[in-house]
Amino acid sequence: MAKAVAAAHDLGVLHKDLKPANVLIAPVSDSKNSNGQISHPQIKVADFGSGTMAEPSRLVALGITNLGFTQTATQEGTLTGTLAYLAPEVLAGHSPTASADVYALGVILFQLVVGDFRKPLSPGWEAGIEDMLLREDIAEAACGDPARRLNSAAQLAGRLENLEARRIKRNELKMAEQRALLAERKLSESRARRPWIAIAVALLLIGLGASLVLYRRASRERDNATRQTQIADSVNRFLANDLLGRSNPFQSGKADETLLDAVKRASPGIDRQFANEPQVAARLHHTIARALDLRTDYPDARREYDRAAALYAQSEGALSEDAIIAQLQRAALEARSYQEGTLALGKSMVAEQEARIAKLPAPRGDLMVWLATARGMIALIGNDAQAAKDNFQAASDRAATVPAIDENTRLALKQRLAFSNIRLGNGAEAERLFRDLIAAYSRTSGPDSAEVLRVRLNLAQAFMIQNRNAEAVDEANQIYPAFVARLGRDHELTMQLLSTRAQCEGTLGRWEDAIRDGLQVHELAVEKQGPSSFFAIASLADTALAQCRGGHDTQGETNARRAYETSKKAFGERAGLTGASAETLADCLIGRNQLDEASRLLADIDSKAVAQLAGIPDWSANIDLAQAEIAYQRGDYAAARKHVQLAIPVFSRADAEPYQKHRLERLLAALDQRMVQSR
């Protein structure tokens, strides 16, 4: 079975519903084959109806139609597969991977060994397995933590094929250990009167001491692994019974309760159920915090992170590394929430955890990954794109060497590294990295997975900063319905996608479309995050720009002024968002001939901060062009020509924004006309 699943994985196919009912046995006669060996029944893994073809292009290359492969997208709150064989991370809402199939194989192996396909893998299962090696194989294949699980189905197959050889080796080591202990006892009973005997005894004891140290270390590691398995089993049981069980309306009392509702309702029961197991409770609160964080449900995620950190500290001590990780992840959340004061809070939280880390003699590798990640997010939101890139690069490099960091987390870190290239204006490099990530996520999670959708959003953003706006709009149109269906209209990523589409529509001169999308993002952001949040302000400013350019001057000026004043209060006068809002308001005022206020606004903008926020290195050309228009309308043609010369290299390019390109051309024509008239 493991070989068959490994072969499917090699072709990029995930099964996602492995269970005994999907394994067929083709009987054969007891005749011998050509090598004189007895033929055994043939095992066939069947029913790939829930599976995913990670690389459909292979079928095309082989001339095979894909009618036999059902490519389904797991909707938010729904699961494909059979509960007893689903890996804990899938139950928690993550997309299935090859590791989830390995988990199912581990459960089936357990049931085969105990001879009962109805028996679940529940705490205490080890008592039914006499063979120590099989216990290890089951524990590592069906480990609740995917980072500690066997790497592949092929690895499980290899271990089972070599089971007898492993038994022989284990017995040899055991016999050697017994002989060493016997020799120690005999030597201790004799009185070594000659120096050479004493030396031999000393050397033997040294060797034996080293062996015992290694043995105790192995025992500790085994005990820790057993404890982690017990914790994972408890987490699994809670997810299955207390969380997923709430989907039963007779238990929840709500016929339309969603998985997110069930998570929130299940959380208070954790501390009651695991009052004597704070480490289990901490792990559950931490898991729920990560799920809520990904759902951009920030208030509830904050509470779960804090509760997890407190319980970790209770069970592991004041310098608990798990508690530090939970707080670093919350610090990144604070920065990413784009609300008034949250960036400063995130910075202070990182500084507090750095002080704790400094007291640790040898911090864990995964802890240092999350520290670099939090620093990178703080830098990214703080508009220091280069520092963000450096930290995300460090986190990604270190994660590649830390076994506790799973593959999906490694890919997520690479995604943040790629996004920092957008903020630096490296559109082509960002596009290359995002295309690599799409291919990687398609292999591990399937081409229709949530991970692939997220990266396709980033790909649209990479198109946008390369002024390939039509491509960006096409990409956004393709994936927007899936974002709404999976994440909801008010999810941070859905709003990002709609905002990206609105900006590109505005650049293409599709004013009504841009206004429609911009207003929708603004309303959603105000409702979910408040009027002072980044999304609420940015979407209002983008809408105002489309309104002023599309002929809705009065509404445009009103919205632009509101965006500017709110950003100045929430993020400060020198913030990139404030500068972008000020430039939008100035453009609207120039169109209404309110030149003095427009000039003051332009003079106070930190163009470097806006350039990093927008991912456009030469963004300051927008200010030059606006100042040239002001000078022209005031009749100062020399100043107008001076300012316009700075804008020409940017807006005369073939890929320049069409509106600004035409604006430059009109101004140059008007200046040339004035020059002719003055002669």
CATH number of 2-161: 1.10.510.10
For the chain, the residue count is: 679
Task: Report the SS3 class of residue 317.
Answer: coil
Among candidate residues 526, 519, 521, the one with its CA nearest the CA of residue 544: 519
In tens, the pLDDT along 53-106 reads 655 555 555 555 544 443 333 333 444 567 788 888 887 777 788 899 999 999
Cite the residue boundaries of each domain of the chain with CATH code 1.10.510.10: 2-161
Distance CA 448, CA 436 (A): 16
pLDDT score for 264: 67
Q: How far apart are CA 122 and CA 128, in angstroms?
A: 11
Residue 164: partners with Cβ closer than 8 Å, 6 or more residues away? none
At 227-281, the pLDDT tens digits run: 555 555 555 555 544 444 444 333 333 434 455 666 667 677 788 888 888 888 8
- Give me the long-range contacts of 566-570 (CB less than 8 A, separation at least 24): 566/531, 566/532, 566/536, 566/537, 566/540, 567/537, 567/541, 569/340, 569/532, 570/339, 570/340, 570/532, 570/537
Query: pLDDT at position 514, please?
Result: 95
Write the burial class of residue 268 (CB in 10 Å: 0-12 exposed, 13-18 middle, 19+ buried): exposed
Looking at residue 634, its pLDDT comes to 94
Mean pLDDT, contiguous 10-residue spans, the chain (679 residues): 90 88 80 61 80 57 48 41 81 82 93 90 84 90 87 91 86 73 62 49 53 51 53 53 42 45 71 83 86 83 93 91 95 86 92 94 93 94 90 93 85 90 89 93 83 92 92 95 88 90 93 95 91 91 94 94 94 92 95 94 92 85 95 94 93 88 92 81
513 is written with which tokens?
């479309």
List alpha helices for 86-194, DSSP H.
Answer: 88-91, 98-114, 132-141, 153-161, 163-189
Closest C-alpha to 651, from 674, 676, 618: 618
Distance of CA 42 to the CA centre of its chain: 41
At 201 the pLDDT is 46
Q: DSSP secondary structure string, 602-640?
A: HHT--HHHHHHHHT-TTTTHHHHHHHHHHHHHHT-HHHH
Distances (CA, A) of 243 to 92, 368, 418: 9, 32, 35
Q: What is the pTM of this model?
A: 0.57
pLDDT at 336: 86
